[in-house]
Amino acid sequence: MNLGKSILFVGLVFATCSSALYAQSSNVKKAKTNIVKFEGLKNTGALDLIKPSLTAAQEAIDLAVVHEKTKEDAEAWTYYSLVYANLAKLDSSADAATKAEAGLKKAKELDVEKKHAENLDIAGQTLGQFKFNQAVKAWDSQNYKLAYNEFNGALTYLPGDTTLTFYAGLAAYHNKDYDNAIAKYKELVPLKDYSSHKSIMLNLPRIYNEKGDTEAALAAAKEAVAAYPNDNEAAVLNIELNLIAGKEAEVIKDIQSQVEKDPQNKNLLYYLGLAYGSSGDNVKALEAYQKVLAIDPNHKEANNNSAVVIMNTGRDELLTLNEDKTISTPDYNKKVAELKGKIGKALPFLIKATELDPTNVDAFKNLKNYYDFVEDEAKSAETQAKMDAIKQ
């Protein structure tokens, strides 16, 4: 956050009051003198040095804003807001912050000629700092709802601050307040030079996805790829969200493009297998899964899916064979035997899948289906027993 503007305060304090008002209000003058002392000492960090000046300013300005001659004076309320904003920040006082906000509002209403605009800006910045500090405390205690409210409140006084906007969005996300998280992040999307811009572009699709808005997630992922066309993370995120959305066939070319850049990336090859399988190309799906296993023989999903592709291909051939009413019994038996040989290629993957995940009932079910097809009753019964044991 850029909070440097507060250093203007000391140079401005004497420029906003006429001699007539000084004569009318010694309390305003006293408050001003002490707040100047406070500003001069506050960078020392020594509370025993700086607090007395602020306390003296508080006592004087409290009298000024109820005095008949100054209770409607813009300058008095300006210093009231400055004093209480600093008290809020120094003491972490919500009560002082409330008074500062009320004073700021009153001063702005009275200052029709904008004579105190810069000092009022500084009071607002100080309130923004206070709310930022409160937000950080809430964040550290994992009270993300309060953290969002405080970060967002700080933005009232420090509008457009990218750090506040980012953390407000992040706090909202952690609180599962997806709408506010999205709203804050979208404010940062046009700011390509923002240091966390890529993070924003990548997180937006994920937030939409967690919210359950699939179409918005896909649109945001597409925008991320457009913003960062050569970024692998953006490309993979777009692929993953399309796979989740059931649009596997639509991203085959995108996956292929990424595989060409990183041919040893087992995750991309696995995604390619999923995409080909969903598009009905079992040959290329199996080929992709086999490339995964060449890199990582213990990849559970690739082992299981390799087996499933082989068995489903055999099942489809068997269905076609059964519908052929013209085939003779000898030829039928011959082709069934050939099918058993083809499906037999699935067995190593089926066994490996159960070894890698010994509590996965589906893996054992696939293995049992294989044994049933090849009519191995003993192995089928053994596998069924293992399934029963898992369910208990």
pLDDT single digits (tens) 261-277: 999 999 999 999 999 99
Q: Which of 100, 117, 139 is the last residue of a domain?
A: 139
Structure token digits, residue 84: 């209480």
Residue 20: what pLDDT?
42
Tokens of 223: 């925008």
Tell me the residue length of the chain: 392
Give the residue among 366, 375, 373 at the shortest CA–CA distance from 348. Answer: 366
Q: Is residue 391 part of a domain?
A: yes
Q: What is the pLDDT of residue 391?
A: 80
Whether residue 353 lies inside any domain: the answer is yes
Tens digit of each residue's pLDDT (9 = 90 or more) over 28-70: 999 988 888 888 777 766 667 788 889 998 999 999 999 988 9
Q: How many CB atoms lie within 10 A of CB 259?
A: 17
Residue 89 belongs to some domain of the structure:
yes
Q: What is the CATH number of the domain that holds 344?
A: 1.25.40
pLDDT of residue 2: 44
Q: Which residues of the chain have pLDDT under 70?
A: 1-25, 44-47
DSSP alpha helices (H): ranges in 141-196?
A: 144-157, 162-174, 178-188
Of the three residues 139, 159, 182, the one that is the final residue of a domain is 139
Q: Is 198 helix (H, G, I), strand (E, B) or coil?
A: helix
Q: Which domain holds residue 386?
A: 297-392
Q: Please indicate, yes or no, if residue 9 is contained in any of the structural domains.
A: yes
78 CB-near residues (< 8 Å, 6+ apart): 16, 103, 107, 111, 116, 119, 120, 123
In a domain, 121, yes or no: yes
| pLDDT of res. 16 | 39
Distance CA 2, CA 260 (A): 44
- Residue 46's pLDDT is 66
Distance, C-alpha 227 to centroid of its chain: 18
One-character DSSP codes across 29-71: HHHHHHHHHHHHHGGG--HHHHHHHHHHHHHHHHHHTTSTTTT
Domain boundary among 139, 154, 186: 139
Q: What is the largest CA-CA distance in the chain?
A: 120
Q: Which two tokens stand for residue 281?
A: 């190309």
Asked if residue 228 lies in contact with residue 197, where contact means CB atoms within 8 angstroms, the answer is: no
Q: Say if 388 falls within a structural domain.
A: yes
Q: At what angle do helices 361-373 and 377-391 cross, to 10 degrees?
A: 160
The pLDDT of residue 50 is 80
Q: For residues 242 and 225, give the distance between their C-alpha atoms in angstroms, rounded to a whole number.
A: 13
Q: Which of 299, 313, 280 is nearest to 289 (CA)?
A: 299
CB-based burial, 92-107: b 16+ in 10 Å, e otherwise: eeeebbebbbebbebb
Q: 176: phi > 0 → left, psi -120 to 50 → alpha, else beta; which? A: left
Please count the structural domains in the chain. 2
In a domain, 383, yes or no: yes
End-to-end CA, the chain: 58
What local confidence, expressed as pLDDT, does residue 25 receive?
57
C-alpha distances out from residue 3 to 90, 103, 128, 164, Å: 16, 21, 9, 12
In a domain, 327, yes or no: yes
Short-list 59, 52, 72, CA closest to 26: 59
